Amino acid sequence: MFMWSRQRTTSTFLAFLRISRAQTSKEILSLTCHSSSSSSSSSSPSSCSSGLHRSVHQPLLSRLLSTPPSPSPLMELKKVLEVLEQFAPLSLAEPWDNVGLLVEPSRPRPISTILLTNDLTEAVMDEAEALTCDLIVSYHPPLFQPIKRLVQRDWKQRLAVRALEGGIAVFSPHTSWDSVRGGVNDWLVAGLGCGQVSVLSQALASGPCRFKLEFKVRNAEELQPIAEQLKKEDSKTTLTHSVNSCEAEGLVASVLCSDTALPSAVQTLLQHGVASQALAILKTEQPPLPGHGQGRLIVLDQSVTVATAVEKMKSHLGMKHLRLALGSGHTMESTVSRAAGCAGSGASVLKGVRADLYVTGEMSHHEVLDAVASGASVILSDHSNSERGFLAVVKEKLGARLPDSVTVAISKADWDPLEVV
């Protein structure tokens, strides 16, 4: 019995080594049993009783016996938010929007599961709890209007309470994803094909509002006390001057100041005898951010018919049906070479844009009539259907930026509340 058990143990170990050999390329493993009284050609249970000799490739053996590799480092919420900010800076969002971290649990925990959704509904929250989710990224902000209380009779407030009780953080990017280069709107118009893409409503760099004040003085001596007083009132105020071509007219000076320093700067100039009629006040614009902004215009490399454009967008959005309004004088065979797109409710962005086709989620009855009268056909997919497909792009991009310890999933319970029946 002992001899049979020893043989069985040896066979098991041999099988393990064969598996190890199959899992490592071109590394030789051997296990041989030698009897002290017989040759290696004899193979019987009794031959193994006299001794067990092992010959194993040493580097592999060391690796088999070594400590397994350490898992990927866990990420705190702060670090994940930094990755989201790198993907689409929140400064790109519209001023009226409510973006960023909306719900932050009091007890921070490592982020291991992120759930992406277009809208945070109670069905999506059920899904997040079942997945033991740590962070929900909801494209639309579930909290938009100011909240004075958290009670159970309001469904959005119930969601906020459940998130806090479950220790689930909630983040919303909304219009920052619309604006960013390579974001929702670029993804939307790409469904029509390749082409030259431009921004409809240009995003500007973020920064404080500044004003430029231009005025005249007779000479540099008159300018000196004005400059000293302005600096005293606001250290960030900058003053420059240039010599006019006609020396008799004196110096043309300009002051650049913040909006908060504007009243005192104007008062200082008036106190020093600068005539109000000779004072010009200009609001400076922030520099544009190329490629970022709301809405997109695409000039297609290869024109398509309206019918083909509809089929392309059905495929791109994963929908069986779309709503179509033909532009004045258009047919299904009319040519589309210029198309304008804006995800969600895009009428305000698309209005007045010269294009053969508008693509958006929703427009009012009268907005569609205006577009049709201008000669543009209109494709409507319903609001969230023009946005939801971008979540797959986000999942891929986050997967490339986050460690393996973080799982990114797309909600299966998220869908547009409207459907064609």
3-state secondary structure the chain: CHHHHHHHHHHHHHHHHHHHHHHCCCCCEEEECCCCCCCCCCCCHHHHHCCCEEEECHHHHHHHHCCCCCCCCCECHHHHHHHHHHHCCHHHCCCCCCCEEEECCCCCCCECEEEEECCCCHHHHHHHHHCCCCEEEECCCCCCCCCCCCCCCCHHHHHHHHHHHCCCEEEECCHHHHHCCCCHHHHHHHHHCCEEEEEEEEEECCCCCEEEEEEEECCHHHHHHHHHHHHHHCCCCEEEEEECCCHHHCEEEEEEEECCCHHHHHHHHHHCCCCHHHCEEEECCCCEEEEEEEEEEEEEEEEEEHHHHHHHHHHHHCCCCCEEECCCCCCCCCEEEEEEEEEEECHHHHCCCCCCEEEEEECCHHHHHHHHHCCCEEEECCHHHHCCCHHHHHHHHHHHHCCCCCEEEECCCCCCCCCCC
Token code pair at residue 214: 């231009």
Residue 140 labeled ligand binder: yes
Tokens of 8: 């069985």
Tokens 């100011």, residue located: 146
Pairwise CA distance, residues 265 & 222, whole Å: 16
Give yes or no for a contact between 206 and 91, defined as CB atoms under 8 angstroms apart. Answer: yes
End-to-end CA distance of the chain: 74
Question: Is 292 flagged in the annotation as binding?
Answer: no
Q: Which residues are annotated as a binding site?
A: 140, 178, 383, 387
Annotated binding site for a divalent metal cation: 140, 178, 383, 387
